[in-house]
Amino acid sequence: MIIAASAPGAPVSTTQVVASSVVGVGGGRARWRHVHWAVMRSIALGWIVTLPVTAVLAAALVGVWEAMS
């Protein structure tokens, strides 16, 4: 996650760093069974949902902002 985000210079959140580190350590030591996959699915879903939801909210707020101007 860190390498993928740092290549284009994108910001990385703390949850992205911690979650990818935990999975990386579990995989690096061949201990995949120790990774709590249900928690990782919830985190990944949060990452996926955040972008479109914030885009819709931003579009709605820009419309409100322009109407007030």
* CA-closest candidate to residue 17, choices 6, 3, 1: 1
| Domain residue extents for the chain | 2-68
Taking a C-beta distance cutoff of 8 angstroms, is the pair 25, 32 a contact? no
Q: How far apart are CA 28 and CA 9, in angstroms?
A: 26
Q: How far apart are CA 19 and CA 38, in angstroms?
A: 12
Predicted TM-score (pTM) of this structure: 0.58
Query: How do residues 57-68 score in pLDDT, each as one tens digit?
Result: 999 999 889 888
* Confidence (pLDDT) at 1: 65
pLDDT at position 8 over 70:
yes
Computed over every residue of the chain, the mean pLDDT equals 84
CA neighbours closer than 13 Å in the CB half-sphere of residue 28: 6
The separation between CA 43 and the C-alpha centre of its own chain, rounded to angstroms, equals 7
